[in-house]
């Protein structure tokens, strides 16, 4: 039976971008299905009393260097976003809505937003910038705004965030293989082991 790894993510996390760059290869290597689970990191932080590592200056400096090392190891582009932190509520509603209403377009959207956040890097908290990036990726601004305003989409993002917290998540990226929780893009080796077991 094919195993599944649930990937709880928020675009506002640079380490989650790094994890995202490895998901296709992880699926290929393990034969597992990767299920993207959009959650709101701010909601997770609020529920768990956690905060972004950059709120501790020394840890923030270390993480900047560490992320650059991992980007080099993975052979992927990475740039610090000078607009960080960015409110990702609309972006995460977009991911949730596409997953619910137009799932075949989800990965195109996820790729476009992660690229804009952590490669280009753009201020995706600005509506005009968001519209430009999504338009270039083939998304209609009008239909997107309708999607993120949908009460069912809003409710689903809240529900997924609450589910993540209830299952033990305290940050992003969080992975589940069954009920085994793994936190951080630097724990993908353990995710692989769990998928192989």
Residue 183's CATH number:
3.40.30.10
Residues of the chain falling short of pLDDT 70: none
Q: Are 157 and 99 in contact (CB under 8 A)?
A: no
Which residue's entry shows tokens 């353990």? 190
Q: What is the pLDDT of residue 2?
A: 86
CA pair distance 119, 79, nearest whole angstrom: 5
β pairing state of 174-177 and 180-183:
antiparallel
Of the candidates 78, 53, 55, which has an alpha carbon nearest to the alpha carbon of residue 183? 53
Q: What is the pLDDT of residue 55?
A: 85
Residue 23's domain comprises 4-196
Q: What is the pLDDT of residue 16?
A: 98
Q: What is the pLDDT of residue 99?
A: 98
Residues 23-61 pLDDT 10s: 999 999 999 999 999 999 999 999 999 998 888 889 989
CA pair distance 94, 92, nearest whole angstrom: 5
CA pair distance 175, 36, nearest whole angstrom: 10
Number of domains in the chain: 1
Q: What is the pLDDT of residue 164?
A: 98
Of the candidates 119, 108, 176, 171, which has an alpha carbon nearest to the alpha carbon of residue 144? 108
Residues 6+ apart with CB under 8 A from 64: 80
CA pair distance 168, 180, nearest whole angstrom: 10
Q: Are 50 and 169 in contact (CB under 8 A)?
A: no
Q: What is the pLDDT of residue 20?
A: 98
Q: What is the pLDDT of residue 98?
A: 98
Instruction: Indicate the pTM of the whole model.
Output: 0.96
Question: Structure tokens of 80?
Answer: 């610090």
């Amino acid at each position: 039976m094919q195993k599944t790894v649930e990937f709880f993510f928020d675009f506002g996390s640079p380490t989650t971008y790094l994890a995202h760059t490895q998901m296709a290869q992880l699926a290929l290597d393990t034969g597992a299905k990767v299920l993207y689970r959009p959650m709101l990191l701010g909601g997770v932080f609020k529920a768990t009393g956690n905060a972004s590592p950059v709120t501790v200056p020394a840890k923030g400096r270390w993480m900047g260097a560490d992320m650059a090392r991992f980007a080099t190891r993975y052979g992927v582009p990475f740039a610090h976003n000078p607009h960080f932190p960015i409110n990702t509520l609309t972006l995460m509603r977009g991911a949730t809505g596409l997953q619910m209403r137009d799932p075949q377009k989800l990965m195109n959207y996820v790729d476009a937003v992660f690229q804009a956040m952590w490669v280009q890097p753009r201020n995706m908290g600005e509506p005009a910038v968001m519209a430009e990036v999504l338009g270039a990726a083939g998304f209609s601004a009008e239909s997107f705004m309708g999607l993120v305003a949908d009460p069912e989409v809003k409710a689903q993002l809240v529900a997924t965030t609450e589910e993540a917290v209830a299952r033990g998540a305290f940050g992003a990226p969080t992975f589940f293989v069954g009920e085994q929780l793994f936190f951080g893009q630097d724990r993908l080796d353990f995710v692989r082991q769990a998928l192989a077991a």
